[in-house]
């Protein structure tokens, strides 16, 4: 679900870099204020590598193909660390495999990283409403994992629609984007929701300290 070089105008790419820079600064500042800001670096590195590998794999889902995102999972487990971890993964993909692009790195970072943070808050919301047993943890894990994909798809859809070249048939392009992007990712949204639910259920039983205790 990467936006490639050459599709977006320069103004959009520059704006994407500016917003990503500010967002990265904000989350790094939040991380620095934690009691032990370096404690989660190994965990973030491992999940950044997982994101890098997973989102490089293409899965054929007619009428298009998709690749796993796992940004919801990263948000659930890493919290604020998810944004820089995803940004590093996207940068390495762009440099090593030309997957996405360097000019669109800022936009891609926002469309994948911000939904991860949303998934984190959504998962942590269970603490506020007192639904912390294993069943509700799994349910919130599913919703968080699925929402990471859903929000990313929605954001990319809006960006692509807003930047359709004037010399193309806008109606036909919107229909194509709807089919190949939105509809094709519905199965992935459900799969990642189930996968995230399974992971958080497992971590809650085996190593609950890997899950953030509360919203920070």
Within a domain: 5 = no
Within a domain: 168 = yes
Within a domain: 26 = yes
- If one counts the domains in the chain, the total is 1
Within a domain: 4 = no
Dist CA 2 CA 68 (whole Å): 11
pLDDT confidence of residue 64: 60
CA 173 to chain centre: 25
Dist CA 120 CA 101 (whole Å): 26
pLDDT confidence of residue 101: 86
Dist CA 198 CA 112 (whole Å): 21
Domain span holding position 18? 10-210
Tell which residue, 89, 85, 90, has the closest CA to residue 104.
Answer: 90
Assess contact for 137 and 200: CB atoms under 8 A: yes
Tell which residue, 154, 146, 74, 156, has the closest CA to residue 113.
Answer: 74
Within a domain: 1 = no
Within a domain: 78 = yes
Per residue of the chain (216 residues), give pLDDT as tens.
Answer: 788 888 899 999 999 999 999 999 999 999 998 888 898 899 999 999 999 998 878 776 655 668 899 999 999 999 999 999 999 999 999 998 888 889 999 999 999 999 999 999 999 999 888 888 889 999 999 999 999 999 999 999 999 898 887 777 778 878 877 877 888 889 999 999 999 999 999 999 998 888 876 654
Within a domain: 3 = no
At CA 158, angle to CA 13 and CA 22, rounded to 5?
40
**CATH at residue 170:** 1.10.1760.20
Within a domain: 90 = yes
């Amino acid at each position: 679900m990467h936006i490639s070089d050459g599709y977006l105008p320069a103004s959009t790419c520059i704006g994407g870099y500016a917003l990503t820079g500010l967002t990265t600064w904000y989350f790094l500042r939040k991380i620095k204020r934690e009691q032990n800001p370096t404690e989660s670096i190994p965990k973030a590195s491992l999940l950044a590598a997982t994101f890098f590998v997973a989102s490089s794999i293409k899965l054929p889902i007619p009428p298009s193909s998709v690749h796993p995102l796992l940004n919801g999972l990263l948000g659930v487990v890493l919290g604020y660390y998810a944004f820089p971890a995803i940004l590093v993964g996207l940068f390495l993909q762009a440099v090593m495999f030309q997957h996405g692009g360097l000019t669109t790195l800022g936009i891609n970072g926002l469309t994948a990283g911000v939904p991860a943070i949303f998934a984190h808050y959504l998962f942590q919301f269970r603490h506020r409403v007192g639904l912390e047993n294993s069943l509700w943890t799994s349910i919130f894990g599913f919703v968080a994992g699925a929402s990471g994909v859903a929000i990313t798809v929605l954001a990319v859809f809006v960006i692509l629609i807003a930047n359709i070249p004037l010399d193309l048939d806008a109606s036909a392009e919107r229909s194509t984007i709807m089919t190949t992007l939105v509809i094709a990712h519905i199965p992935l949204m459900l799969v990642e929701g189930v996968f995230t639910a399974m992971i958080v259920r497992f971590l809650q039983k085996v190593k609950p300290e890997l899950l953030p205790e509360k919203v920070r």
